[in-house]
Amino acid sequence: MNRSSINTGYVRNERALEKLDRNVKLMKSSFCLLFLFAFSHLHAQPGSILGVVRDSETNEAVVGATIRVVGTSTGTSTSLNGSFLISGVPSGNVKLRISHVAYLESQLEVHLTSNDTAHIEILLRSSEIEESEVVVTGTRTMHNIADVPVRIEVIPLEEIEEKVLMTPSSVAMLLNESTGARVQTTSSTSGALNLRIQGLSGRYTQILFDGIPSFGGMAGGFGLTQLVPLNLRQVEIVKGAGSALYGADAIAGIVNFLTKEPREDFELSALVNGTTQNGFDAGAFAGQKLDELGFTIYVSRNTQKRFDVDGDNFADIPEYDKISVAPKIMYRFNENLQGSISFAYLAEERIGGVQNAQRISLGAFAPYLEQVRTTRWDVSSRLQWTLNEENSVQLKAAAMNLRRNDVFGNLPFSAVQTVFHGEAEFLTQQGSHAILMGTVLHVDDLTDRTTGSQTSTSYTFNAPGIMVQDEIRLSEQWTALLSGRTDFHNRFGTFFTPRGSVMYKISPGITLRLGGGGGFKAPTAFVEESEELGFRKTRLSIGLNAEKAKSASFDMNWRTIMERVSVTTNCAIYATWIDNAVIADEDSLMNQVVFLRNATGLTFTRGGEVQLKIAYDDFKLTAGYTYTYATRNDRGEKEELELNPRHSFGVVAMWENHEMGWKVGWESYWTGTQKLERNPFRRSSPAYWNSGLIGEKSFGQFRIFVNFENIFDARQTRFERIVTGNPESGSFDKLPIYAPLEGRVINGGMRAVL
C-alpha cells in the first residue's frame, strides 16, 4: 500500500467520524425537541364538552340543535335526548354558538382545562317568544304570538334588516313582500304609495307607530315612503276589520311598526347605500340602557335625482331629498312604574314630471312639474303602571303636526293637519279572564290654506270612545276573545264595532282560528285618485256618508320540527263587506276631476292565502300564494275592482353562514293580470315577474352588500307609457300604475354594526 492511499483513507475516515458526530448531536437535539413537544402536548391535551340542550319553558330536550365552537369548524348536533359531545376542543376559554330553527340563537362561554371534560346544560328560548315587551295589535296585550286568538303576521328583525339593504329609504318593499299585502303606487309623478290588504284600497289600512294611530287623511299618501326601517325591531300585520280596538280606518287591516328599545349593551349601527339610478342613503341608529334611563336615536338622509328610465323625457322616478331624526327616552321610576317619550322630525321635498324641466317651471302650466314639500313633527309618550300581579294601567298620548305645500302644474295646494291621540287603559287578570277597559280620544283637524281656491278640503273630526275586551282561557285547547268599542264621532254619529275570535289548539303544532269584526271610516278628500290628479280637483258629494264594514276569516296553522328541519304552514280564507264605500265617479275622472260619492251597493272582497316556511340549518325558504277577488255593486252594475291581481305568488330563499360571514338571498314574485280603468291601451294588465338577488359579506363589525333588484327589468313602461299626450306642453293625462316603474336597479354599500 503506498503512502498516498493511506493518507487519503485517513482523511476520509476523519470526515466520516465528524459527520457521524454531527448526526448524533442532531439526533440528541431532535429527541430533546420531540420529548419537550410530547411533554407539552401531554400537559395541553384538548378536552371535551358534554352537555344537553333543553327548552327554557318546558324543560324538554331540543333535538337537532347545532353547537359550534366559534372561530373553528368544530361542532355537532344534539341527539334524540338533547345531548351532545364535542371532542378535541382546545383548552382555555371557548365560546359556543347554539342555534336551532325554532329557537333564538344563543352564545355561551366555557372554560376548559387541559384533558378535561366540561359538563354543561343549555336552555334555549323559543323564537316565538318576543325578546322585549311588545303590545300585540290584535289584542293590545302582551302574549306569545302562538297563544293569540287573533291571526297576526309578524315581520321579525331579521327580515327587516334584509329589506334595509334593499331599500333603506322606506318600508315599501318590507310590506310589499308580505303574503296578502301589496304596495300600490298612487302617483307616478310624486311616487306616493299606499298599502292594499286583501284587495282593498290603501286608505282602509290603519297605520300605527308603536301602537298609536298617527297616519291617515293627508298623512296617508306619503306615510310609507317617509318611514325608514332603520330603527324598527318588528312589524305586526292584522288583516280584516279592526275598528273594535283601533277606531276609524281599520277596515282592511292594521299595520303596527314597533321601534327598537334600548339594551344594556351600547348598540350602534350605520349604513351608506348608493344606487345605479342616482339614489343615495345614509343613516345611523344608536341606543343604550343606563341603569334606570335608556335612550335611542336615529338619523337618516335619503336623496334621489329625477330619473327617466324609458327615455321619454318624463321622470319615472321623482327626485327627493329627505331628512329624518327620531330620539326616544325611557325611564324606569321603580319596579312598577316606567315611562317613555319620543320625538320625530321629517322634512322632505319631492319633484316629478318632465325630466329636463328646471325648477323655474314650478307653478307654470307647462312644462309640467309636480312638487310636494312636507314637514312633519311627532311626539308620543307612554306611562305603564303595574299595580299588582293582576292589575295594571297604561296611559298614552301623542300629537302630530304635518304641513304640505304642493304644486300640481299651475295648481297650488297648501294645508296643515294636526292630530291628537290619547288613551287610558286598565287591564285586570281575573282567573281565566284578561279584561281590558279603556277610553280614547282622537282629534284630527285639517286646515286647507290654499289661496284662491274655490273648494276646500278642510275638516275637523273629534271622536271620543270607550272600549272593552275580554280574553278568556276556556281550557288548554280553547281561547276566546270578545271586544267592542263605541266611538262618538262629531260629524258622522255614533259607531259600535264588535270583534270576536276563537282559537282551538288541536295539538302543540296545529292551531285553528275563526274570527270576525266590524269597522268604519269617516270620508275625506284624500283618496288615491286625488293624490294622482291634485286635491284642487277633488269634490265631495253633499250628504256623503261614513263607510261601514264587516269581515270574517278562518285560518289553520301547522308547525312541525323534524330534527334539523322546521316546517310551518298557514292557510287562510277571508271576506270583507263594505257598505257606503266612497268611490271616485268614473265620468268625473275622465274629465280630470275627482268627484267622491257613496256607492249604491256593497263592495265585497274575498280570497285566500297559503304560506309555507322551511328552515334547515343555515337555509330558509318561504313561499306564498294569494287569491283575491274584489267586486263592487254600484247603480245596478257589478264590476271587479281595478288594480287587483286575482293571483299572486312569491318565493324567497336565504342562506346565511355566521362562521363564514356570508348572506345570500334570492326572491321572485309573480303578479297576475289586473283589471284596468282609464287605460286606452288595454283593459287588463299583463302578468309579470319581479326577481332579485342580494349578497352580504361581513368583516367583523363591518359588512358590505350588493343587491340586484328587478333583474329581468319588469316595468310598466315596457308595455306602454305612463302618460298620454305631451307633458312638455301641459296637455296630458296620467295612467294608473299597475307594475313597477323603476325597472332594473343595482344598489350596494356598507354598514357597520357595533
CA distances from 85 to 18, 52, 97, 98 (A): 54, 9, 14, 13
265/273 Cα distance (integer angstroms): 26
CA distances from 280 to 167, 169, 173, 243, 284 (A): 10, 9, 17, 39, 14
**pTM over the 0.85 mark:** no
Residue 597: pLDDT over 80 = yes
Mean pLDDT confidence for 488-514: 93
Q: What does DSSP assign to residue 200?
A: B
CA distances from 531 to 100, 173, 371 (A): 47, 21, 12
Q: What does DSSP assign to residue 33?
A: H
Check residues 87 and 132 and name the one with the higher pLDDT: 87
* Joined grid coordinates for residue 481: 276573545
- Is beta strand 619-634 parallel, antiparallel or unpaired with respect to 647-657? antiparallel
The predicted pLDDT at position 703 comes to 93
Backbone angles phi, psi at 12, to 5 degrees: -60, -40
Domains belonging to the chain, first-starting first, are: 47-124 (2.60.40.1120), 238-753 (2.40.170.20)
- Write out pLDDT tens, residues 311-347: 999 999 999 999 999 999 999 999 899 999 999 999 9
| 8 Å CB contact between 704 and 271 | no
The predicted pLDDT at position 376 comes to 94
The band of 141, judged by pLDDT with boundaries at 50, 70 and 90, is: low
The predicted pLDDT at position 142 comes to 60
| 8 Å CB contact between 165 and 705 | yes
- Write out pLDDT tens, residues 394-438: 999 999 999 999 999 999 999 999 999 999 999 999 999 999 999
- Candidate from 37-46, 246-255, 485-494, 710-719 with smallest mean pLDDT: 37-46
